[in-house]
């Protein structure tokens, strides 16, 4: 069992570090301010050309700006503590064990959780199993 992943970005963090507004960064890399907004919210995957331009302007390597994280990590981290504890209770596991899903690798995932259990987790997270895991 493997996690499906999505691209995340640290564009906002590094842009603010440089003292740039969204518009200033957009002007320097040749896109609209809205594109920068969507990039910063990980709602847009840039082309390789744009990625290199951003890397040059922000003076950071690509792999520090753009990286992949398991989709489940995003989902669990977006929950309130109350929601997470409720899900953990329904799964009959500790809150910390639920949170551990955001930190373990694929090998540990397969060892710690069987497929039926992972299907139940995806159901409780209100997501399709195939949107979170690769079988």
pLDDT at 54: 98
pLDDT at 21: 98
Answer yes or no: is pLDDT of 110 > 80.
Answer: no
Task: Report the alpha-carbon distance of residue 124 to residue 121 in Å, rounded.
Answer: 5
- Does the domain at residues 7-68 carry the CATH identifier 1.10.260.40? yes
Q: How confident is the model at residue 128 (pLDDT cuts 50, 70, 90)?
A: very high
CB neighbours of 123 closer than 8 A, spacing ≥ 6? 129
Task: Report the alpha-carbon distance of residue 133 to residue 135 in Å, rounded.
Answer: 6
Domain coordinates of the chain in residue numbers? 7-68, 79-130
Q: Which of 69, 75, 39 is nearest to 57 (CA)?
A: 39
- As a whole number, the mean pLDDT across the chain is 92
pLDDT in tens, 16-74: 999 999 999 999 999 999 999 999 998 999 999 999 999 999 999 999 999 988 888 88
CB neighbours of 134 closer than 8 A, spacing ≥ 6? 1, 2, 3, 4
pLDDT at 74: 85
């Amino acid at each position: 069992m493997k996690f499906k992943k999505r691209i995340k970005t640290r564009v906002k963090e590094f842009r603010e570090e440089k003292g740039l507004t969204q518009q200033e960064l957009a002007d320097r890399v040749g896109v609209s301010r809205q594109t920068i907004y969507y990039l910063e919210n990980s709602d847009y995957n840039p082309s390789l050309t744009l990625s290199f331009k951003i890397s040059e302007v922000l003076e950071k390597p690509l792999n520090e700006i753009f990286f992949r994280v398991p989709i489940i990590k995003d989902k669990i981290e977006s929950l309130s503590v109350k929601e997470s504890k409720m899900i953990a209770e329904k799964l009959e596991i500790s809150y910390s064990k639920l949170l551990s899903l955001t930190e373990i690798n694929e090998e540990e995932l397969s060892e710690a959780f069987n497929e039926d259990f992972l299907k139940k987790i995806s159901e409780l997270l209100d997501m399709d199993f195939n949107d979170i895991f690769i079988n």
